Amino acid sequence: MSLFEALFQPRRIALIGASADPAKTTSRPQRFLARHGFGGEILPVNPGRDEVLGVRAWRDLAQVPGEIDHAYILLNGADAVAALEACGRRGVRVASILAGGFADAGAAGATLQDALSRIVRETGIRLVGPNSIGTVSTDPPMALTANAAFAVDRLRQGRWAVVSQSGSLIGALLSRADARGIGFSRLISVGNEVDLAVGKVADLLVDDPKSDAILLFLETLRDPERLAQAARRAHAAGKPVVAYKLGRSAVGQELARSHTGAIAGSDATFDAFCRRHGIARVSMFESLIDVPALLVGRPPARGKRVAVATTTGGGAAMVVDNMALAGLEIAMPPDELVAWLKPRGIAAGHGPLIDLTLAGAKPEIVSGTIERLLADPANDAVLFVVGSSAQFNPELAVEPLVRFAQADKPFAVALTPAAEKSLALLTAAGVPAFRHPESCAEAIALCLTRPVPRALLQAVTAPAGTSDALAAGRVNGFDERRAADLFAALGVPMAKSLAVPDAKRIAAAVSEVGAPVALKILSADIPHKTEAGGVALGLPDGATASVAAREMERRVRAHSPGAKLDGFLVQRMERGLAEAILGYRRDPLVGPTVTLGLGGVLAEIYKDASTRLAPVDEAEALEMIEEVRGLATIRGYRNLPKGDVAALARTIAAFSRLADPVLASVTEAEINPLLVKRDGEGVVAVDGLVLVG
């Protein structure tokens, strides 16, 4: 039996620790399997009973005859560990563990989880969990779960699969989707992911003929490489991967850590991960069940122009407002539609919104409007927003809309009132329908702009000389001079500088570099020199610089008495149109990342930045530049001179080559500021920092 079959289509299931008491959670898996029509064999294991809920039980796993495809362990702590060991010795294909209290519960629990890992390695058994509330299939039916939400009378079949690190959220998704007439194909709670993580399960679902989309609820990334592989394979198979992740705030990150015992990671780096590998990330939980309808069966569209018609001006304005925040544009109606509406008493064309309210929502006017908008090449998608008629006359409101379910262009409907019947009718007809303006806007934006997997940059290597620069820094400490040597070896333009051991040689250095100069203390122990009083700018001559050096040394020693000082850096003053910051980090979850932001002393205040997985090429670097709002001035803003955007893109790409495995000991690096000069004059880095591990 394959791993997929053992997970989602097992023939024989052992329930270790099954209870006959319907008030206990451990009775639910057996009751739910029976309730929802599991066609295989249920094998309860309970040391104190020969029968559980009318089914023969065994006192010990060793007594169970025949092969066992999937064992659900309903015991806690050390008993769960012992049960997994018995399953491994017995040759059970897959086991799941319900209980928490492992890595999510401190040091003692982590020790128990280590024991689970050892058993998996030694016996070859595959494990879901611990902290897994179960696995569910709807076709064929198999509700192997302790989630109370599955006490429903029936499971609605569908073609979307759910992989969640939270068990309870599966129930929330199930109930919300069922209220909309939406069903799922598979649902699985992977819990603490000792063995089978989100990425591996998603990879299995790519090949599932009964799943057209893969929905992820994430708290962390434990196996990003496998998830990246799954997302790329899913894209090639035409199956969108949609993800909602906790941890957008510091509080959310801490909650994710306490729930699963894992690091949530930076929100910006997760965004970069999704962008690189073609995962559609949603910001609202509701969007997990809203977005797929617009993505399934469609190749990623391109464009930002949305035509909007409505029978409620205010309701449509809410959606339009959210679409604008998502970066979409509202398309003007075509002249042909304006002319067609005029004799029907509707004035259109004065603005982008086509308000049909005065038509009394006549079906022929609604359908005629939508038909003409879908045929208009000047828009990329069409949205129709329905008002009160959706609540009070659902059949009438829906009638002119359902015929466009198979439109060649993305078509969606937003319902302003609470109109569950209209929502269900549209869903049943295959029309993407929404009840929240925020999730509607997010779905349309993802439909038109969702990321596609980028070609991975193969064999990107740092230039010759970087290894020597890295070695010198590791031996002597990475002060600014040695950081500049490493950056220069990568191909980053650096400001002309000279290092001197003491104040006596300052004047000669100023003469060689050329005044005016910046003077900086050199010390690998002082990463932020400004705070220590270790920077002086705009010094006009050697004499002034010499005096400044002696004063600087006194300030720095008073501020950082334990720091080892290695002299001074004399640097020619540079000017630019704008200051940028370049950052590099080896993220513990997703690996090397590069960040571009607005530079200078205000960088940490404004947090105006764009992050990508490193390395990047110049095309991706140009996208990063477009995303930093504070750099709009260098892109040709009003009458301001344009900056050298091409040189900035080249420098970002060069800097990102810190991701070369040869430079793996570099954990963080920063250039701040990177000065962007006029178009054609290049960029120049005037300060840098390197941290090694």
Q: Which residues contact 583 (CB under 8 A, 6 or more apart)?
A: 594, 595, 596, 597, 609, 668, 669, 670, 671, 672
pLDDT at 464: 73
Task: Show me where the domains of the chain are located.
Answer: 1-133, 156-297, 299-449, 496-572, 578-692
Structure tokens at 691: 């941290």
Instruction: Work out the mean pLDDT of the chain and round it to a whole number.
Output: 93
Using pLDDT thresholds of 50, 70 and 90, give the confidence band for residue 594: very high
pLDDT in tens, 309-350: 999 999 999 999 999 999 999 999 999 999 999 999 898 988
Query: Rounded to an integer, what distance in angstroms lies between the CA atom of residue 276 and that of residue 88?
Result: 38
Q: Which residues of 198-219 are buried (b: 16+ CB within 10 A; e: fewer)?
A: bbbbbbbbbebebbbbbbbbbb
Residue 635 confidence (pLDDT) above 80: yes
* Whole-structure pTM value: 0.92
For the ranges 245-259, 361-375, 499-513, 548-562, the lowest mean pLDDT is seen at: 245-259
Give me the architecture of the 496-572 domain, per CATH: 2-Layer Sandwich (3.30)
Residue 461 confidence (pLDDT) above 80: no
Residue 223, SS3? coil
φ and ψ at 398, to 5 degrees? -85, -30
pLDDT at 257: 43
The β-bridge relationship of strands 568-572 and 497-500 is antiparallel
Residue 15 confidence (pLDDT) above 70: yes
Residue 561, SS3? coil
pLDDT at 538: 97
pLDDT at 261: 39
CATH class of the structural domain 299-449: alpha beta
Helix (H) or strand (E) holding 621: helix 618-627
CATH of domain 156-297: 3.40.50.261
In the block, tokens 């010499």 appear at 546
Residue 58 confidence (pLDDT) above 70: yes
Residue 36 confidence (pLDDT) above 60: yes
Residue 549 confidence (pLDDT) above 60: yes
Q: Kindly state which CATH superfamily the domain 578-692 is placed in.
A: ATP-grasp fold, B domain (3.30.470.20)
pLDDT in tens, 204-215: 999 999 999 999
- HSE at residue 425, side-chain half, CA atoms within 13 A, is 19
pLDDT at 255: 46
pLDDT at 459: 54
Q: Fold match between 156-297 and 578-692?
A: no
For the ranges 122-126, 252-256, 466-470, the lowest mean pLDDT is seen at: 252-256
Cα torsion 67, 71, 76, 78: sign? positive
Summarize the chain as % helix, strand, coil (round to 5): 40, 20, 35
Taking domain 1-133, whether its CATH number is 3.40.50.720 is answered by yes
For the CA atoms of 50, 54, 55, 56, the dihedral, rounded to the nearest 10 degrees, stands at 30
pLDDT at 351: 92
228 vs 225, 237, 308, 413, 504, CA distance in Å? Answer: 5, 14, 35, 32, 56
pLDDT in tens, 491-533: 999 999 999 999 999 999 999 999 999 999 999 999 889 999 9
Using pLDDT thresholds of 50, 70 and 90, give the confidence band for residue 361: low
pLDDT in tens, 294-304: 999 988 878 99
- Percent of the chain whose predicted confidence (pLDDT) is above 70: 95
Across 376-403, average pLDDT: 92
Across 680-687, average pLDDT: 97
pLDDT at 198: 98
pLDDT in tens, 238-277: 999 999 998 766 654 554 444 333 443 478 999 999 999 9
